[in-house]
Amino acid sequence: MTTFLRILALLATATGCLATLSCTLGTPQTRIDQNTSLYDSLPDSHRELVSQGRIAKGMSQSAVHLALGPPNRKIQGFRDDASFERWDYTRLQPHFHHSFHSYQGLSSYGDRYHGFGFFPAVGYLPYRSASVTFRKKVVDSWERLDPEHFSHRYSH
């Protein structure tokens, strides 16, 4: 196996491990296990939703935090004669493309080589996957982007 293929295989393995680890550490069950007293203090209907990673109008900020995790951004504002706070959640969508690069190296015989070529590359595009609006520290409204819609739109 060439050095390039070994490096590519190592990067792919590392990316897979990080993706798996990030998914398992950020689950509603993990957050519930770390905050059992908070979870137990929620109404029964909210506990059921939190355990499924879902939210509903009237839920507290603490319940939303257990269900969805910490937001990537908090926005405060004033609309319709009342203050509000919006929590935005973002995700990263992989974007595969080819990049033109130069390369150089040293062969196993000690000879130098160099050249130019197109190489596969991946970049990640952030997108807002969900927003939750609070009034008086309870959910007033929420919206979520359909993952299917986004993947079809940006997979080209």
Q: Which two tokens stand for residue 45?
A: 């209907």
Residues 6+ apart with CB under 8 A from 78: 84
- pTM (predicted TM-score): 0.65
* Contact in structure between 129 and 145 (CB atoms under 8 Å): yes
The pLDDT tens digits along the chain (156 residues) read 567 666 766 666 666 555 544 444 589 999 999 999 999 999 999 999 999 999 999 999 999 999 999 999 999 999 999 999 999 999 988 988 888 778 788 888 888 888 887 788 888 989 899 999 999 999 999 998 876 654 444 444
Amino acid code (one letter) for 138: V
What pLDDT was estimated at residue 77?
96
Amino acid code (one letter) for 34: Q
3-state SS string over 80-148?
Answer: CCEEEEEEEEEEEEEEEEEEEEEEEEECCCCCEEEEEEEEEEEEEEEEEEEEEEEECCEEEEEEECCHH
- Rounded to whole angstroms, the Cα distance separating 76 from 70 reads 16
> How much is the CA Rg of the chain, to the nearest whole Å?
23
Cα angle at 64 between 63 and 69, to 5 degrees?
A: 115
- Break the chain into its structural domains and give their ranges: 1-69, 71-156
